[in-house]
């Protein structure tokens, strides 16, 4: 099979130049005599890889010096636990906005640690929109407000951040980091699993205010789950996910070389507009998320019934477009159009939407 347009929500497409670079360097990394897969994480060549990865990420996201960058494991899901364990006392109050499945999982993990308050939820409407948060809705003593910047499963995103005042804002940016510009200073802590928009699975990036790093944690918190210990060790308290960090570093370089995050955002907004315009123009296809909260990374849409959904997915597959099936919990279709999805992929999808509507089948 030729390479296809892979609309998977994650792990997802990687930029072809990155894959080719990995291939070229795989067996003997730049004359080091071995592969990055085999290299000691304490070796000079590897030190350079991880230092460059961090430096490039700092440049493309404009990460200020008073923020730490951590390369961790355990996926975004482990952050659901690490965040409360490091930012809140046991039993303390923490606020959560429930805008989807991952947001709800984060809240549930928070509840294991303390008084995790759901300040709002769009569950009644199948998470089709982002509830507006006002300052009055927040708990006065909350250790933080946790939001999910982009809801991968339901296809919504925050266009504006909630007005949090002095409450630290914690944000899961797994499916939109590097896809859109953010001002890191708006956040106390950002986390993101790499496999959506940054690189291979196995790496989670945390960007947090250094002032929040502390050794004064509850004694049950394992060393591996202490941000401070990880920061002190330069993300090498133990063996880091070496290869994933290396590939992510190449993706960061690719973002930089193709114009940076602002240019990515421009292309992503254009791709998303192409797709949403086609959906809005259709009598058969329907966008699932509220228009004003539509994600530019994950577009969710439906057809009138399961049979037509299946037929549409089959037509897509016959044209080299895969993984367009919606998440098992919501059904329908979902097109994940992250940074590495070329405009041509979206154009082919739009053409297929129009052809399907005109009766074209496999
Ligand atoms: C994919 C995803 C997660 C879960 O990521 P894992 O790395 O599988 O733990 C959490 N939050 C969001 C927004 C996601 O898209």
The closest residue, in CA terms, to atom 13 on ligand 1 is: 174
Q: Where in the chain is the domain with CATH 3.40.640.10?
A: 16-257
| Tens digit of each residue's pLDDT (9 = 90 or more) over 67-78 | 999 999 999 999
How far away, in angstroms, is 102 Cα from ligand 1 center?
A: 7
> For the residues of 255-321, what is the DSSP string, one character each?
HHHTTHHHHHHHHHHHHHHHHHHHHHT-SS-EE-S-GGGB-SSEEEEE-SSHHHHHHHHHHHHHTTE
Rounded CA gap, 354 and 356, in Å? 5
- Give pTM, 2 decimals: 0.98
Rounded CA gap, 12 and 15, in Å? 10
Answer yes or no: is the C-beta of 265 below 6 A from any ligand 1 atom: no
Q: 260-357: which CATH topology?
A: 3.90.1150
How far away, in angstroms, is 193 Cα from ligand 1 center?
A: 6
- The answer for residues whose C-beta is within 8 angstroms of residue 144's C-beta and 6 or more apart is 83, 87, 88, 94, 95, 167, 168, 169, 170, 188, 189
pLDDT score for 18 = 98
Q: 16-25 and 242-257 helices cross at what angle (nearest 10)?
A: 130
DSSP-assigned letter for residue 146 = E
Ligand 1 atom closest to Cα of residue 204: 7
Q: Is the Cα torsion angle 164, 165, 168, 169 positive or negative in sign?
A: positive
The closest residue, in CA terms, to atom 3 on ligand 1 is: 76
Q: Where in the chain is the domain with CATH 3.90.1150.10?
A: 260-357
Answer yes or no: is the C-beta of 175 below 6 A from any ligand 1 atom: yes
Q: 16-257: which CATH topology?
A: 3.40.640
Question: Residue 329 — very low, low, confident or very high, per pLDDT cuts 50/70/90?
Answer: confident
Answer yes or no: is the C-beta of 298 below 6 A from any ligand 1 atom: no
| Tens digit of each residue's pLDDT (9 = 90 or more) over 222-261 | 999 999 999 999 999 999 999 999 999 999 999 999 999 9
Answer yes or no: is the C-beta of 174 below 6 A from any ligand 1 atom: yes
Do strands 298-302 and 204-209 pair parallel, antiparallel, or not at all (unpaired)? unpaired
pLDDT score for 340 = 98
Rounded CA gap, 243 and 208, in Å? 23
| Tens digit of each residue's pLDDT (9 = 90 or more) over 272-310 | 999 999 999 999 999 999 999 999 999 999 999 999 999
| Tens digit of each residue's pLDDT (9 = 90 or more) over 140-155 | 999 999 999 999 999 9
Question: Residue 1 — very low, low, confident or very high, per pLDDT cuts 50/70/90?
Answer: confident
How far away, in angstroms, is 149 Cα from ligand 1 center?
A: 12
> 3-state DSSP call for residue 115?
strand
pLDDT score for 231 = 98
Answer yes or no: is the C-beta of 75 below 6 A from any ligand 1 atom: yes
Chain centroid to Cα 1, Å, comes to: 28
């Amino acid at each position: 099979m030729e390479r296809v347009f892979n609309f998977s929500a994650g792990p997802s497409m990687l930029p072809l130049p990155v894959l080719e670079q990995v291939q070229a360097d795989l067996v003997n990394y730049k004359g080091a005599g071995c592969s990055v897969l085999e290299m000691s994480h304490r070796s000079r060549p590897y030190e350079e890889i991880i230092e460059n990865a961090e430096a490039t990420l700092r440049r493309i996201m404009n990460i200020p010096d008073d923020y730490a960058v951590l390369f961790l494991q355990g996926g975004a899901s482990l952050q659901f636990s690490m965040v409360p364990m490091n930012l809140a006392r046991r039993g303390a109050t923490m606020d959560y906005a429930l805008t989807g499945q991952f947001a709800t999982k984060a809240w549930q993990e928070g509840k294991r640690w303390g008084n995790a308050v759901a300040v709002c939820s769009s569950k009644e409407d199948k998470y089709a929109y982002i509830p507006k948060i006002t300052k009055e809705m927040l708990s006065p003593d909350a250790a933080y407000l946790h939001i999910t910047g982009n809801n991968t499963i339901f296809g919504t995103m925050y266009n504006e951040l909630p007005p949090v005042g002095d409450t630290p804002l914690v944000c899961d940016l797994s499916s939109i980091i590097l896809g859109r510009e953010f001002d890191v200073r708006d956040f106390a802590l950002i986390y993101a699993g790499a496999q959506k928009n940054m690189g291979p699975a196995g790496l989670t990036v945390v960007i947090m205010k250094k002032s929040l790093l502390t050794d004064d944690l509850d004694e049950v918190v394992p060393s591996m789950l202490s941000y401070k210990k990880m920061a002190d060790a330069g993300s090498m308290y133990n063996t880091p996910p070496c290869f994933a960090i290396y590939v992510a570093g190449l993706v960061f370089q690719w973002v930089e070389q193709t114009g940076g995050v602002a240019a990515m955002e421009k292309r992503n907004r254009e791709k998303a507009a192409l797709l949403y315009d086609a959906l809005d123009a259709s009598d058969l296809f329907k966008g699932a998320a509220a228009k004003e909260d539509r994600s530019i990374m994950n577009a969710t849409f439906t057809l009138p019934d399961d049979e037509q959904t299946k037929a549409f997915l089959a037509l897509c597959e016959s044209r080299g477009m895969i993984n367009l099936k919606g998440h098992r919990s919501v059904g329908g279709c979902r097109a994940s159009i992250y940074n590495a999805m070329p405009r041509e992929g979206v154009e082919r999808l739009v053409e297929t939407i129009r052809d399907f509507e005109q009766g074209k089948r496999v």
